[in-house]
Amino acid sequence: MKRFLPFALLVILALIWGSSFKLIKEGLIALSPLQLAGLRIGVAGMVFWPIVFSHLRKLRKEDIKWAVLAGFLGSGVPAFLFAIAQTKVNSSAAGALNAMTPLFTLIIAAAFTGYQMTRPKVLGVLTGLIGALMIIFIRSDGNFEADFKFALLIVLATVCYGANINLIKSKLISYKPLVIATVPLFAVSVAALIAFFGSGGTDVLTDLQGQNLRSVAAIVFLGILGTSIALILFNRLIQLTDALFSSSVTYLIPVVAMVIGWMDHEDISSYQIIGLVLILLGIYLINRRKN
């Protein structure tokens, strides 16, 4: 049974994170992007509030600032960027662009940590970027998209994810995974709740009926399952396997997002599929090990 546990966790995480883009789409029906992101991260952080202070004491004082920064880079800022972007970008395209995270992780590592880029990795980055450009710029009818600013917000979110991974590796790697998850998420959840209530969150919570209720329920579900619980499951997956196996969830998330988008009658073009294939090929070239 233990032999199959890593594969089960991998599939569960892919389903959770792959469906998050559809939940954001549902939330945006009744919530503003600011309300959605604030509620999502606020609820996610509240899950860890009962245990945060016991983990906070395990952090050295000089590392607290890095933990707070990790919270904003890894959860806070991307949540707001995705919420704004998905007012114009469908969930399947958002899921496909989210797969660029490993590309920017490598680019940032090479730029700031002295990581040596090999020819296959450079080719992987270029291949992935070409795929992303296809998704961003080409519409389903083959014409160039004029308003691509919202898609670029998702690209910026993946840059934040890549920066956060490098930050954790360089500044917080000595701490246990639960410490790295709990303290940053607590820090950003306080700011997120301020943003939620400051943007009319009280009115939303006092009118929980109809579409309002469905949207709030979708984002609360996303915050608890898609952020807090998924983070714990991912940390467990890392403990059971290695970084390469764990990172393979990146291949599955956009596929799940695209299938859910197709089931939701979203317009998925051949250009979008080709772009996704190029991104995944780029990730493969980056992660490929020499025999």
Q: How confident is the model over 109-126, as pLDDT tens digits?
A: 888 877 778 888 888 888
Q: How far apart are CA 191 and CA 206, in angstroms?
A: 21
For 176-180, the CB contacts below 8 A with 24+ separation are 176/58, 177/235, 177/238, 177/239, 178/55, 178/232, 178/235, 179/55, 179/58, 179/59, 180/67, 180/70
The proportion of the chain whose per-residue pLDDT surpasses 90, expressed as a percent, equals: 33
Across the range 56-81, mean pLDDT stands at 92
For 148, the enclosing helix (H) or strand (E) is none
The pLDDT of residue 2 is 66
Provide the β-strand partners of residue 138. Answer: 144
Please tell me whether residue 88 adopts helix, strand or coil conformation.
coil
How many angstroms separate the most distant Cα atoms in the chain? 60
pLDDT of residue 291 exceeding 50, the answer is: no
Across the range 77-84, mean pLDDT stands at 95
Each residue's pLDDT tens digit, 213-227: 999 999 999 999 988
The structure's pTM equals 0.87
Q: How far apart are CA 218 and CA 233, in angstroms?
A: 20
Beta strands, E only, 47-130? none
Each residue's pLDDT tens digit, 225-263: 988 888 788 877 776 776 556 667 777 888 888 888 888
Per-residue confidence band for 83, with pLDDT thresholds at 50, 70 and 90: very high
Gyration radius (Cα) of the chain, Å = 19
Provide the β-strand partners of residue 144. Answer: 138
Across the range 185-193, mean pLDDT stands at 93
Closest Cα to residue 188, out of 85, 60, 40?
40
Q: How far apart are CA 291 and CA 287, in angstroms?
A: 13
Q: How far apart are CA 108 and CA 127, in angstroms?
A: 17
Most confident of 94-98, 129-133, 158-162: 158-162
Q: How far apart are CA 25 and CA 4, in angstroms?
A: 33
pLDDT, mean over the chain: 86
pLDDT of residue 177 exceeding 50, the answer is: yes
Each residue's pLDDT tens digit, 6-38: 888 888 998 999 999 999 999 999 999 999 999
Residue 241: CB partners within 8 Å, gap ≥ 6?
A: 6
The pLDDT of residue 145 is 58
Amino acid at site 204: V
